[in-house]
Structure 1
Amino acid sequence: MPDETTDKPIFAAKLTAPPRLADTVSEAIASALFDGRIATGDALPSEGEIAREFGVSKPIAREALRQLSGAGLIQTQQGKVARAKAITGEPLDRIYGYAVRSSLTRLREANEMRHLVETGIARLAATRRDPEGLATMEEALAEMYDGLEEPDGFTAADIAFHLGMAMATGNTMIRMQVEGMRSVQREVSQLFSRRSSRTRADWKATVDRHADLFAAIRDGNPEDAVRMIDRHYEAADIASFEVAGEPRGNG
Structure 2
Amino acid sequence: MTDNPERKPVFTSKPASPSRLADGVSDAIAAALFDGRISPGEPLPPEGEIAREFGVSKPIAREALRQLTAAGLIFTQQGKVARAKALSGEPMDRIYGYAVRSSLKRLQEANEMRRVIETGIARLAAERRDPEGLEAMRQGLVDMQASLHEPAGFTAADILFHLGLAMATGNAMIRVQMEGMRSVQREVSELFSRRANRSDADWRATIARHQAIYDAIAAGDADLAEQSIRVHFDAADIASLEVADKLGGGAS
**TM-score for the superposition, normalised by structure 2:** 0.90
1:67-92 per-residue CA deviation (whole Å, 9 max, x = no partner) reads 00000000011111111111111111
Unaligned runs of 5+ in 2: 1-16
Q: Judging changes above 3 Å, is the alpha-carbon distance between structure 1 residues 247 and 95 closer, same or farther for their aligned structure 2 residues?
A: farther
Q: Which 10-residue stretch deviates more, 174-183 or 234-243?
A: 234-243
* Aligned-partner Cα distance in 2 for 1:33–1:204: 43
Tell me the amino acid that sits aligned with residue 111 of structure 2: N
Specify the SS of the correspondent of 1:243: helix
* Aligned-partner Cα distance in 1 for 2:247–2:44: 44
Find out whether 1:225 has 2:225 as its counterpart: yes
Report the CA distance between 1:239 and its aligned residue: 1.7
8 Å Cα contact 1:191/1:244 also seen in 2:
no
Q: Judging changes above 3 Å, is the alpha-carbon distance between structure 1 residues 236 and 44 closer, same or farther for their aligned structure 2 residues?
A: same
Find out whether 1:250 has 2:238 as its counterpart: no
Structure 1 segment 6-85 matched on structure 2, within 5 A: 19-85=19-85
Specify the SS of the correspondent of 2:81: strand
Structure 1 stretches (4+) deviating beyond 4 angstroms?
245-249
* Aligned-partner Cα distance in 2 for 1:19–1:164: 42
* Aligned-partner Cα distance in 2 for 1:126–1:18: 47
Report the CA distance between 1:19 and its aligned residue: 4.3
8 Å Cα contact 1:191/1:241 also seen in 2:
no
* Aligned-partner Cα distance in 1 for 2:143–2:118: 21
Unaligned runs of 5+ in 1: 1-16
Report the CA distance between 1:105 and its aligned residue: 1.2
8 Å Cα contact 2:108/2:240 also seen in 1:
no
* Aligned-partner Cα distance in 1 for 2:64–2:114: 32
Report the CA distance between 1:244 and its aligned residue: 3.2
Which residue number in structure 1 is paired with residue 4 of structure 2?
none
Specify the SS of the correspondent of 2:61: helix
* Aligned-partner Cα distance in 1 for 2:244–2:72: 31
* Aligned-partner Cα distance in 2 for 1:162–1:139: 11
Cα RMSD (Å): 1.4
Tell me the amino acid that sits aligned with residue 152 of structure 1: A
Tell me the amino acid that sits aligned with residue 250 of structure 1: A
8 Å Cα contact 1:195/1:240 also seen in 2:
no
Specify the SS of the correspondent of 1:38: coil
8 Å Cα contact 1:90/1:180 also seen in 2:
yes
**TM-score for the superposition, normalised by structure 1:** 0.90
Which residue number in structure 2 is paired with residue 202 of structure 1?
202
8 Å Cα contact 1:147/1:154 also seen in 2:
yes
**Structure having the higher Rg:** 1
Tell me the amino acid that sits aligned with residue 251 of structure 2: N
Query: How many residue pairs get matched?
Result: 235
Which residue number in structure 2 is paired with residue 185 of structure 1?
185
Q: Judging changes above 3 Å, is the alpha-carbon distance between structure 1 residues 245 and 93 closer, same or farther for their aligned structure 2 residues?
A: farther
Structure 1 segment 135-214 matched on structure 2, within 5 A: 135-214=135-214
Tell me the amino acid that sits aligned with residue 92 of structure 2: L
Specify the SS of the correspondent of 2:242: coil
8 Å Cα contact 2:26/2:68 also seen in 1:
yes
* Aligned-partner Cα distance in 1 for 2:38–2:246: 47
Report the CA distance between 1:241 and its aligned residue: 3.2
Percent of aligned pairs with the same amino acid: 69
